[in-house]
């Protein structure tokens, strides 16, 4: 879910594949291997997350918004492609090769993947009026059985298991945590509209989880403190995974808590949820003000992480009312998330990316009816996991900074700004821009090796300026970059590890078909030997001229009928995938 950061109320808000040639030799592989090429929206994934196991870096877990179990557009009305009620969308993927190859297990749960429908509307044909049922799913298990729905926005992390004596140790085994938005299936399992749920998988059950055993996973736990009007959104997770920390084994999930969601989504504080018992029980703390009005802007897009000493850091986007500018805020805890040093400090101001879409009023990165933009902070800390012994505790922070050029007003392009701190976030130094001047980077994700010697970055690079029409191509590609970090903390220069084949963002789509959808973030995770990076990719997605014309009509205020994607578009319209790979340190 994405909202704007201006002062004032925050409101919720045929085709050939255009392909390019990768410009760097690193290469990549598809993470979402269970995704079919058609139909829409079963072929759609976005918003990837990834984590590498600190004690066995061959084991990698990823998550993504995954629609493989949704009904096809042809089911009932052919011009609607709904999120099927009750069907989950939190995909899970595993790698035993350090991120160079992937598997997607099939579990059992509430599914509509069998609901393909037929062209036209035939209320007397059972094949065109298919309802979901229990069957194979490509998403997290045990939600339906517990009256819940996994609703995407994934965040993943590995940590130690807790022994019988209550002490965390890697010798007890490892635990994978998967946080995601969670809805009620039918009855009120929790209050409000969306909660944050966490699934857990232990090392002794890993083989069973890979083979599709639902019970390899523990039942999901609701971690957010809910009320009847709350929409918990856009969470991130961190596990204190350095055994040198006095809070080793703690788990933290931050999120934005949008109150009065059905009345505009404001006010909205940033909260952090903490667990000290392996994710069984949680406590919640509000970290920011909640008010959002014309004088005090809102906040969203948090990031959370820990250093080798157990210091907890939370960052978010907000609005500095004194300066009248968007800003990145930081707050810290030195006691395992029980108390925080207040008030939150401003790390830096920034220029928002994107331009306003005249139809929706939202800010888009590539043009009218386009993909979302994002300047939110992505953060990593060299905490020396799994032991903490070689930690530099350097914090790296990256975000996309505007302004955004357009086809009618070409000008300066966006860039990835990178800041770092060597004194627990008290002061910050800005490095050279991490993206070349030719790029338009959206949704950057940064990672630093546990010993602090190497930094890695991934983002989606757009090849054209913001487009005022849907008739022009909107090519973009995944990019992975690397920089050495010297002993003083200085980062750079940056070099390229991979530049992926291009795809056309117009071939992506929201389920409502009114605009594109590429999600809100990408992800990177560094080890001492390299990094795993994942991003949203449209190389396999076909643009659909009928959809382009429909979207343009919404911008122009005309009345073009909504197309039927399975009849009016190429079969692979909407086929966005998650791509990525392991990239070895080029300067070991």
Q: What is the DSSP string of 289-313?
A: ----SSSS---EEEEEEE-TT--EE
Torsion of CA 421, 447, 466, 12, to 10 degrees: -90
Distances (CA, A) of 37 to 23, 459, 545, 571: 25, 24, 19, 8
CA distance 271 to 333: 13
Q: 517, 46 in Cβ contact below 8 A? A: yes
Of 120, 112, 129, give the one whose Cα is nearest residue 78: 120
pLDDT profile of the chain (588 residues), mean per 10: 34 30 66 98 98 98 98 98 98 98 98 97 95 98 98 97 96 98 93 95 98 98 91 94 98 89 66 98 91 65 97 95 93 98 95 91 94 90 98 98 95 96 98 96 97 98 98 98 97 97 98 97 98 98 98 94 98 98 97
CA distance 415 to 436: 8
Q: Is residue 19 part of a domain?
A: no
Q: Is residue 456 part of a domain?
A: no
DSSP 8-state symbol, 502: P
Of 582, 484, 475, 495, give the one whose Cα is nearest residue 534: 582
CA distance 455 to 460: 17
Q: 291, 351 in Cβ contact below 8 A? A: no
For 319-375, the DSSP string reads EETTTTEEEEEEEEESSSSS--EEEEEEEEE-PPP-EE-TTT--EESSBTT-PBP--
Residues facing residue 182 across a β-bridge? 150, 195
CA distance 125 to 113: 18
Handedness of CA 232, 235, 241, 246 (dihedral sign): negative
CA distance 474 to 142: 39
Q: Which residue is associated with the tokens 């009904």?
A: 71
Residues facing residue 525 across a β-bridge? 532
Distances (CA, A) of 71 to 105, 133, 238, 331, 508: 20, 11, 34, 43, 17
User: What is the predicted pLDDT for the residue at 445?
Assistant: 98
Q: Is residue 384 part of a domain?
A: yes
* Other C-beta atoms lying within 10 Å of the C-beta of residue 171: 10
CA distance 47 to 90: 10
Counting Cα atoms < 13 Å in the Cβ hemisphere of 535 gives 30
Q: Is residue 235 part of a domain?
A: yes
Q: Which residue is associated with the tokens 């001229």?
A: 545
pTM above 0.85, yes or no: yes
User: What is the predicted pLDDT for the residue at 260?
Assistant: 65
What are 528's two structure tokens?
A: 């001492």
CA distance 115 to 129: 8
Q: Is residue 9 part of a domain?
A: no
| Total of domains in the chain | 1
Q: 421, 395 in Cβ contact below 8 A? A: yes
CA distance 470 to 150: 33
Q: Which domain holds residue 230?
A: 29-451+464-584
Backbone angles phi, psi at 482, to 5 degrees: -140, 150
Backbone angles phi, psi at 437, to 5 degrees: -60, -20
* Other C-beta atoms lying within 10 Å of the C-beta of residue 487: 8
Of 278, 282, 102, 52, give the one whose Cα is nearest residue 175: 278
CA distance 140 to 105: 9
Length of the chain: 588
Q: Is residue 48 part of a domain?
A: yes
Tell me how many degrees the CA angle 122-123-124 measures, rounded to the nearest 5.
90
CA distance 77 to 117: 9
* Other C-beta atoms lying within 10 Å of the C-beta of residue 497: 25
What are 386's two structure tokens?
A: 């799994």
Q: Is residue 35 part of a domain?
A: yes
Q: 206, 174 in Cβ contact below 8 A? A: no
Q: Is residue 82 part of a domain?
A: yes
Number of H helices and E strands in the chain, helices first, is 3, 33
Q: Is 485 exposed, middle or buried (0-12, 13-18, 19+ CB in 10 A)?
A: buried
For 27-62, the DSSP string reads --EES-TT--S-STTTT-EEEEEEEE-TT-TT-EEE
CA distance 81 to 544: 15
């Amino acid at each position: 879910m994405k909202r704007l950061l201006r002062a004032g109320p925050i409101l919720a808000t045929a085709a050939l594949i255009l392909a390019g040639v990768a410009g760097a030799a690193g290469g990549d592989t598809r993470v979402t291997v269970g995704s079919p090429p058609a139909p829409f929206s079963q072929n759609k994934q976005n918003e990837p997350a990834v984590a590498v196991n600190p004690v066995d870096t061959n084991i990698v877990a990823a998550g993504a918004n995954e629609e493989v179990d949704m009904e096809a557009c042809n089911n009932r009305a052919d011009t609607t492609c709904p999120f099927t009620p009750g069907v989950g969308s939190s995909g899970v993927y595993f790698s035993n090769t350090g991120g160079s190859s992937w598997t997607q297990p099939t579990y059992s749960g509430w599914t509509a993947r069998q609901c393909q429908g037929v062209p036209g509307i035939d209320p007397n044909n059972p094949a065109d009026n298919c309802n979901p049922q229990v069957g194979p799913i490509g998403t997290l298990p045990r939600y339906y059985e517990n009256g819940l729905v996994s609703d995407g926005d994934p965040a993943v992390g590995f940590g130690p298991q807790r022994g019988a004596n209550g002490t965390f140790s890697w010798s007890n085994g490892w635990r994978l945590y998967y946080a995601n938005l969670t809805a009620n299936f039918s009855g009120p399992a929790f209050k409000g509209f969306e909660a944050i749920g966490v699934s857990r998988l232990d090392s002794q059950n890993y083989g069973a989880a890979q083979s599709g055993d639902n019970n390899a996973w523990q039942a999901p736990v609701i971690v957010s403190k809910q009320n009847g009007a709350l929409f918990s959104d856009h969470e991130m997770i961190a596990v204190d995974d350095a055994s040198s920390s006095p809070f080793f084994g703690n788990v933290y999930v931050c999120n934005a808590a949008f109150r009065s969601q059905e009345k505009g989504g404001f006010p909205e504080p940033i909260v952090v949820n903490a667990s000290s018992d392996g994710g069984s029980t949680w406590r919640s703390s509000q970290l920011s003000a909640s008010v959002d009005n014309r004088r005090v802007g809102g906040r969203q897009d948090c990031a959370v992480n820990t250093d080798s000493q157990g210091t907890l850091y939370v960052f978010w986007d907000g609005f500095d009312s004194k300066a009248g500018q968007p800003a990145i805020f930081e707050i810290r805890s030195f006691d395992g998330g029980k108390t925080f040093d207040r008030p939150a400090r401003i790390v830096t101001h920034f220029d928002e990316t994107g331009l306003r879409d005249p139809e929706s009023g939202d800010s888009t990165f590539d043009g009218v009816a386009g993909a979302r933009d994002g300047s939110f902070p992505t953060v990593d800390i060299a905490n020396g996991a799994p032991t903490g012994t070689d930690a530099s505790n350097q914090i790296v922070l990256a975000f996309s900074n505007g302004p955004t050029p357009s086809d009618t007003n070409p000008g300066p392009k966006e860039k990835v700004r990178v800041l770092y701190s060597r004194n627990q976030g008290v002061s910050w130094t800005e490095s050279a821009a991490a993206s070349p001047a030719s790029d338009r980077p959206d949704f950057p994700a940064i990672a630093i090796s546990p010993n602090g010697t190497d930094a890695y970055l991934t983002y989606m690079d757009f090849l054209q300026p913001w487009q005022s029409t849907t008739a022009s191509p909107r090519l973009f590609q995944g990019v992975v970059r690397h920089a050495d970090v010297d002993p003083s903390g200085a980062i750079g220069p940056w070099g390229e590890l991979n530049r992926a084949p291009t795809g056309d963002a117009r071939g992506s789509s929201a389920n409502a078909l009114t605009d594109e959808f590429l999600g809100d973030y990408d992800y990177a995770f560094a080890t001492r030997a390299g990094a795993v990076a994942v991003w949203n990719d449209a190389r396999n997605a076909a643009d659909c001229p009928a959809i382009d014309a429909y979207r343009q009509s919404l911008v122009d205020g005309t009345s073009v009928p909504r197309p039927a994607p399975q009849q009016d578009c190429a079969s692979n319209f909407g086929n966005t995938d998650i791509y990525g790979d392991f990239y070895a340190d080029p300067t070991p």
